């Protein structure tokens, strides 16, 4: 997953793993990804596609998603001024934030 910058789905990872380990089950991939998320080694992304994508949890970053081809690009910029006021989330301790921008990639704009 660390070599895949495309934010793969479970199915994408399964296809890739099966090239090396043909007997690997989809259930094993799901369990492994869930474990990686729980350990903080991966982040599960819900980008409005009806399926999750996974991203190595190597540093805080945000995403831009093409609304046509669904390509996902990492945005490595701090949005330091973006904070919730205490009254907007009473009692919550914010531990992570993520912005997702949606638009058309250069290929789909043509």
Residue 5 counted as domain residue: no
| 29 within domain boundaries | yes
Residue 1: band (very low, low, confident or very high) from pLDDT cuts 50, 70, 90: low
Number of domains comprising the chain:
1
Q: Is position 54 within any domain?
A: yes
Residue 3 lies in a domain: no
Residue 55 lies in a domain: yes
CA distance to 30, 49, 73, 89, 101, per residue, from 14 (Å):
9, 18, 21, 38, 27
CB 74 within 8 A of CB 109: no
SS3 of residue 30 by DSSP: helix
Within a domain: 57: yes
Q: What is the pLDDT of residues 79-90, one digit of tens each?
A: 777 778 889 999
How far are the Cα atoms of 9, 47, 53, 72, 108 from residue 69, in angstroms, in the given order?
Answer: 14, 13, 15, 9, 7
What is the model's pTM? Answer: 0.74
Q: What is the pLDDT of residues 4-48, one digit of tens each?
A: 677 899 999 999 999 999 999 999 999 999 999 999 888 898 887
Q: Which domain holds residue 73?
A: 10-103
CATH number at residue 83: 1.10.10
């Amino acid at each position: 997953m660390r070599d895949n910058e495309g934010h793969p789905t479970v199915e994408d990872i399964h296809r890739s793993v099966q090239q090396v380990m043909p007997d690997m089950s989809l259930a094993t991939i799901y369990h492994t990804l869930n474990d990686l998320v729980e350990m903080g080694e991966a982040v599960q992304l819900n980008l409005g596609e009806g399926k999750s994508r996974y991203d190595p949890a190597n540093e805080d970053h945000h995403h831009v998603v093409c609304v046509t081809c669904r390509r996902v690009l990492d945005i490595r910029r701090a949005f330091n001024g973006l904070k919730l006021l205490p009254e907007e989330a009473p009692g919550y301790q914010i531990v992570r934030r993520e912005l997702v921008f949606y638009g058309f990639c250069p290929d789909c704009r043509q």
